[in-house]
Chain A
């Protein structure tokens, strides 16, 4: 019984405690009690995960379980390996931060008994997915996670219609993923004869493995929100309460990534090249599509949800590139690419948590989610603005955040490919780099838009003008998450060293100043030294500025320059829709944007204009062309099938007769 097992048992125990507190404690103290218990659950998972990551694999914990009406259920096998440990740690930290935020944020249905109990159940399920050591445990934990998150999503369903639709899409897609996983694992279990990972890993090859790969990757890609299975993400994540959105976006979708890594590195290692190409194509397409959609959104939480698709796409691309390189005999660079995938996972968890919690803080203070109605929040909510700014820098991969380090490692892996004899690599690597680069550029635009329009300039509505900074619990969660985003970026050496073990990447070293040295490809990055260099360069500039400021102090003027006329209306500012207008024009073919202009004229003077309203809507192309077309086809098929049910007993007797003849013919063969 080592630390890992202790942590897992603690999670289960604390989870039960949290559920009990959620149900028993009266509403006045429920947030604090249940929230603290869920924070403890997260902490236990973090502890357990760290221990597993740093080498102490679980000793094979077996937890007996009894479900009503189901007899003969084998005990749960919970034994995380270093990779599982990493994802447990990640899930634990994110859950802890979300619950901490929730203590201050949860109100209405999210603060009810069901709300907190569901959060506790969701947390336990989420954290046990990477700990599972066999198929049944994995799928059970997966379902608990899915059910918990669906219940949490439905928190506001009584007041808002989009919530019900979102929950429907989410439930359908998540169960689609479950069915695909069940099918995939079923194939593997049938071939291997046992359900634990070790038994399965001994492994099938050939077309069976290919079939299992396709099924499992589809299932995990749905959970990870990769295009074309992403349609639930931009609906579900915005409608959930913000602390739940953070947990879903930063931790739950990562379980899809964990699944992909499990399949490609542990269960079906050494697969053919086309597997890696599938992952690269899926990832690159998702990344580009996700960020393109994100850049034209005006709803802040929807923007962040599409950004999650983008980041998951980048992670999948990194995994694909790593597998491709390993399969081509460039193990060093391949290991670096897989390390990049894990760094992207960790950094995305950090900055997405900050961003969603920040969006929650803004929603709490102003009641608005639409960037076109915000503005001027930097002076009214300084803590939230700073934290969101740091998160935005991480999302845009600017120095020196964790996002910057992760992108750097990915680009180094791509650049150091040796492809002089391998035509496939020579074509795939530059295309991948081009797509990654475009994604980075568009990500920069998206997050400058999100931060600049939401927080800078002047407030566009009275709600934004009346905003006040959030409470202590929310602020602490924001500060911790922002500190993680920057801290992981300033000290990449130790972080990467710990992660390297999870994907057996070699040659990862730490320099004297906690920098990252990738000996396998011979490159070095030292963010701390870069920061010191920047500070050293900044000192003369600041010194000159201070000296000049004494001589010529800043003068307060009455107006911003707007051609001399008084511009008192903040309606003259650029808003989110106008900011992305050039981009909409450039990518007109890829984004289906519909615009409408409504004009109201005064009755007495029909040639004048009294009011003008402009609306722009961008629909998700995949949803329009793919899903709606599929549902239409399904409906037409249903109509066709319905014609068989015309009520005539003669036709029904005819069917039975034909079926009987068919069975007799087949049986007599």
Chain B
């Protein structure tokens, strides 16, 4: 009982510590490829610290959703990090972090943001909220099907168990089921966390915004939680994908050496994946909103092929 709790604490501390570094690495990679210097790897930390020290505002007629939504997003992102096998595959027995539980917690954060967008009472907020929910709805089948595909050879839908079984059975890593499912999951990560080509996180044009538009009305501390919560979702999902793709150097239990190796391994994998994602983004332009369903339908097809292959072929 105490060991899974220790693992959860390690996950949470690790996630919160590595997330600003991950964002910093991604921004710096992008900056260097664009010929700039960028703010450095520690800049997101400085931004966050400053935001948490500033005052939030409240316009007349607003409801408690304005205060509650950033905290709900933050809490749901932290629970996500606790349930996903970031550092160790030892899961809490009664809430093992399986397929639907993890997706539902992710959706809780999505809903919090969407309601915040509507709460602002401006056209921008509603627009962001509407686009965000349409993308979330269309990504849902892909998420569930790709994890389903990976769960068939593992015999369990618990994410930690899937990572563990992939580590033990190397042949499961190189077969088409695996590759198709991982590619589909990468598209899911891009869509859920609002990266290019689905959404441009650095845009200033409100008509092109999806994620930014929902948080235009929040400032100071509220914005600090919203930013950290969104970044934590990226860490969790990207961490899940790299641990599924490269399941080595993930701790098996809660032993000290195992956890240290896990922390080091996941750090390396996560930062490398983040840098790669940022590098690819330099070559991409944002897709028109009504082309995004085509991208998501394509990823759904990959996930479906993956599941069928896992049953019929492998």
Direct contact of A and B (CB under 8 A): yes
A398: interface (CB < 8 Å)? yes
A423-B312, A559-B59 known; A440 and B140 CB under 8 Å?
yes
A378-B65, A445-B134 known; A552 and B104 CB under 8 Å?
no
Q: Which residues of A contact B94 (CB under 8 A)?
A: 511, 513, 515, 524, 526, 529
* CB under 8 Å from chain B, chain A span 1-40: none
B73 CB, min distance to chain A CBs, angstroms: 10
Q: Which residues of A contact B307 (CB under 8 A)?
A: 430, 433
**Which of A423, A434, A524 contacts B145, CB < 8 Å?**
A434
**Which of B114, B122, B157 contacts A452, CB < 8 Å?**
B114
With a 10 A CB-CB cut-off, give which of A440, A456, A549 has the most chain B CB atoms: A456
**Which of A399, A445, A557 contacts B101, CB < 8 Å?**
A399
* CB under 8 Å from chain A, chain B span 62-98: 62-65, 67, 71, 74-76, 78-79, 82, 92-96, 98
B258: interface (CB < 8 Å)? no
CA–CA, A440 and B110, complex, Å: 13
Interface string of A561-592 (1 = CB under 8 A from B): 11000010010111100111111011000000
B21 CB, min distance to chain A CBs, angstroms: 20
B176: interface (CB < 8 Å)? no
**Which of B55, B60, B98, B122 contacts A573, CB < 8 Å?**
B122
**Which of A420, A570, A582 contacts B121, CB < 8 Å?**
A570
Q: Which residues of A contact B96 (CB under 8 A)?
A: 524
Contact between chains at B104 and A398 (CB < 8 Å): yes
Q: Which residues of B contact A575 (CB under 8 A)?
A: 126
A172: interface (CB < 8 Å)? no
B75 CB, min distance to chain A CBs, angstroms: 5
CA–CA, A147 and B277, complex, Å: 63
A548: interface (CB < 8 Å)? yes
* CB under 8 Å from chain A, chain B span 110-140: 110-111, 114-115, 118-123, 125-127, 129-131, 133-134, 136-140
B110 CB, min distance to chain A CBs, angstroms: 8
CA–CA, A426 and B225, complex, Å: 43
Contact between chains at B100 and A408 (CB < 8 Å): yes
A207: interface (CB < 8 Å)? no
Stretch binding the partner chain, chosen from B37-45, B214-222, B243-251, B266-274: B214-222
A457: interface (CB < 8 Å)? yes
Q: Which residues of B contact A411 (CB under 8 A)?
A: 99-100, 144
Contact between chains at A555 and B108 (CB < 8 Å): no
A467 CB, min distance to chain B CBs, angstroms: 14
Contact between chains at A558 and B60 (CB < 8 Å): yes
* CB under 8 Å from chain B, chain A span 421-462: 423, 425-427, 429-431, 433-435, 437-438, 440-442, 444-445, 448-449, 451-453, 455-458
* CB under 8 Å from chain A, chain B span 134-155: 134, 136-141, 143-145, 148, 151
A667: interface (CB < 8 Å)? no
B252 CB, min distance to chain A CBs, angstroms: 20
A378-B65, A408-B101 known; A552 and B55 CB under 8 Å?
yes
Contact between chains at A398 and B115 (CB < 8 Å): no
B207 CB, min distance to chain A CBs, angstroms: 13
**B-side interface residues, number (CB < 8 Å):** 83
Q: Which residues of A contact B290 (CB under 8 A)?
A: 582, 585-586
Contact between chains at A456 and B312 (CB < 8 Å): no
B231: interface (CB < 8 Å)? no
B124 nearest in chain A by CB position:
A562
A404: interface (CB < 8 Å)? yes
A438-B141, A533-B95, A573-B126 known; A560 and B105 CB under 8 Å?
no
**Which of B133, B157, B158, B216 contacts A445, CB < 8 Å?**
B133
Q: Which residues of A contact B58 (CB under 8 A)?
A: 554-557
B35: interface (CB < 8 Å)? no
Contact between chains at A458 and B61 (CB < 8 Å): yes
A524 nearest in chain B by CB position:
B94
Contact between chains at A574 and B129 (CB < 8 Å): yes
Q: Which residues of A contact B71 (CB under 8 A)?
A: 538, 541-542, 545
The A interface is mostly helix, strand or loop, or mixed, namely: helix
A398-B107, A452-B115 known; A433 and B312 CB under 8 Å?
no
Q: Which residues of B contact A553 (CB under 8 A)?
A: 55
CA–CA, A135 and B123, complex, Å: 57
Contact between chains at B217 and A574 (CB < 8 Å): no
CA–CA, A572 and B120, complex, Å: 11
CA–CA, A534 and B76, complex, Å: 8
B156: interface (CB < 8 Å)? yes
A259: interface (CB < 8 Å)? no
**Which of B55, B63, B93, B118 contacts A574, CB < 8 Å?**
B118
The B interface is mostly helix, strand or loop, or mixed, namely: helix
Contact between chains at B221 and A433 (CB < 8 Å): no
Q: Which residues of A contact B121 (CB under 8 A)?
A: 456-458, 560, 570, 572-573
**Which of A378, A426, A580 contacts B311, CB < 8 Å?**
A426
**Which of A399, A408, A449, A456 contacts B108, CB < 8 Å?**
A399
B260: interface (CB < 8 Å)? no
A504: interface (CB < 8 Å)? no
Interface string of A274-296 (1 = CB under 8 A from B): 00000000000000000000000
A399-B105, A537-B79 known; A579 and B61 CB under 8 Å?
no
A379 nearest in chain B by CB position:
B63
A608: interface (CB < 8 Å)? no
Contact between chains at B136 and A441 (CB < 8 Å): yes
A426 nearest in chain B by CB position:
B311
**Which of A448, A533, A555 contacts B82, CB < 8 Å?**
A533
CA–CA, A444 and B135, complex, Å: 11
B12: interface (CB < 8 Å)? yes
A415: interface (CB < 8 Å)? yes
Q: Which residues of A contact B104 (CB under 8 A)?
A: 397-399, 404, 408
Q: Which residues of B contact A586 (CB under 8 A)?
A: 134, 138, 290, 293
B17 CB, min distance to chain A CBs, angstroms: 14
A530: interface (CB < 8 Å)? yes
* CB under 8 Å from chain A, chain B span 10-58: 12, 52-58
**Which of A425, A448, A538, A561 contacts B75, CB < 8 Å?**
A538
CA–CA, A438 and B296, complex, Å: 12
Contact between chains at B122 and A561 (CB < 8 Å): yes
A402: interface (CB < 8 Å)? no
A408-B100, A415-B157, A444-B111 known; A433 and B148 CB under 8 Å?
yes
CA–CA, A412 and B54, complex, Å: 45
Q: Which residues of A contact B131 (CB under 8 A)?
A: 582
A380 CB, min distance to chain B CBs, angstroms: 10
A-B contact pairs, 10 of them (CB 8 A): A378-B64, A379-B63, A399-B104, A408-B101, A415-B151, A426-B312, A537-B12, A544-B52, A557-B59, A582-B130
Where the two chains meet, the residues of A that have a C-beta atom closer than 8 Å to any C-beta of B are: 376, 378-379, 396-399, 404, 407-408, 411-412, 414-416, 419-420, 423, 425-427, 429-431, 433-435, 437-438, 440-442, 444-445, 448-449, 451-453, 455-458, 511, 513, 515, 522-526, 529-530, 533-534, 537-538, 541-542, 544-545, 548-549, 551-562, 567, 570, 572-575, 578-583, 585-586
Name 12 extra pairs, CB < 8 A, besides A419-B311, A437-B140. Answer: A376-B61, A396-B111, A431-B304, A440-B140, A444-B140, A448-B118, A457-B119, A525-B101, A529-B95, A541-B225, A574-B126, A579-B129
Counting from the closest, the 5 A-B pairs by CB-CB distance are A574-B126, A441-B137, A441-B140, A452-B118, A526-B94
